Copies of this chain bind each other. A is one copy, B any other.
Amino acid sequence: MAKRHVSLKDLATELNVSISTVSRALKNHPDISCEMTRKVQELARARNYTPNPLAMGLLRQETRMIGVIVPDLVTHFFSSVISGIEYVAKQNGYYILISSSSESYGKEVESVRNLLNTRVEGLIVCLSQETKTFDHFDVLINNEIPLVFFDRVCRTDQVPSVVADNAEAARQVTRHFYENGCRRIAYINGPEQLSISKLRYEGYLQGLKDCNLPFEPELVGSCNLSPEDASVATRKLLRLKNHPDAIFGINDTVIFAAMREIKQFGLTIPTDISLVGFTGEFHSTVVEPSLTSITHPTFEMGKEAARLFFERIQHPTAPPQQIEMKTSLVIRNSSKKKAL
């Protein structure tokens, strides 16, 4: 196995000077003569020297790595947020170590442990769907290791976080339906332990109130975030003696499943049932009819999360901020106005 990287020692030996001289010369320390500095820097360039981050890490007790835990890598929302995190991390000379929890509580706990063992300087996390207890983050909180949550959050009194304006968005969707003539507005929620589920549900209720619509429990479905489960929830809604005339779902995956079910049931969108999604995956525009959807500024959310993280590195004990990002309702064909 060839020797891969030259070290200060290699340069020092070749020039017949001490390691410290080389080290100082490379950073233009005034103690070193111009002549020597020139020689050292020349050789360093020629030999393609780059400092060894392991040695630096050991010395400075830093790794310049951020651990990122997401429920999965393939959902557009998460990969886009990660892009944003990576963007800011790169600017600050940091790398990110990605670990996916596969929506599993156990894997999330394991990821936290593993990443910490790898000596990342902190974590940026979106909770798994299953996560109901949060003890695995105590180590971080107690030891003032930087931690930032995004989207699905917890312990917001202790941990900075970036979220969408979930409640407001859901409220807006509900009113949008109402203004388009819908009166039986259904909502398919996610697992109740998720912060986004709670908030979007609250927004839905508030929206009903705004429009003076009665709350009808039968119009609220719930599912884990899989297409299969969403289909089940949709079918339940469709089989009601008086089916809803509008459905919105906690995310687009859910709503795409609903869309398929509705078509299969022989109903048309939006004439029979209006549909609005939540997250704005790319394919909103290519489905038929195109899907009205709440869009997150996903890349920006990632950037904000990373920004918060670096603030945390600077001031580990500052009171935690919670950033709420504005979403926007992009109206397409799945919720077109019907004749009143």
Residue in B closest to A64 when the chains form the complex, CB atoms: B118
Q: Are A5 and B119 in contact (CB under 8 A)?
A: yes
Nearest CB to that of A87 among chain B residues?
A: B100
Contact bitstring A301-321, B, C-beta under 8 A = 1, else 0: 000000000000000100000
Instruction: Tell me the A46-76 residues at the B interface (CB within 8 Å).
Output: 50, 52-55, 57-58, 61, 63, 72-74, 76
Whether B95 lies near A53 (C-beta < 8 A) is no
Asked if residues B50 and A117 are in contact (CB atoms below 8 Å), the reply is yes
| Chain A residues touching B, majority SS | mixed
Partner-contacting stretch, out of A21-29, A36-44, A125-133, A283-291: A283-291
Using CB atoms, name the residue of chain B closest to A145. B4
Q: Which residues of A contact B (CB under 8 A)?
A: 1-2, 4-5, 50, 52-55, 57-58, 61, 63, 72-74, 76, 79-80, 82-83, 86, 95-100, 117-119, 143-145, 256, 259-260, 281-283, 285-288, 316
Count identical subunits in the complex.
Answer: 2
Of all chain B residues, the one with the shortest Cβ separation from A59 is B54
Task: Let me know if A1 and B286 touch, CB within 8 A.
Answer: no
Closest to A115 in B: B95
* A to B CB contacts below 8 Å, 20 in the list: A2-B144, A50-B117, A52-B58, A53-B118, A54-B58, A54-B63, A55-B58, A58-B58, A83-B100, A86-B100, A95-B118, A97-B97, A260-B285, A281-B283, A282-B283, A283-B286, A283-B287, A286-B287, A287-B287, A288-B288
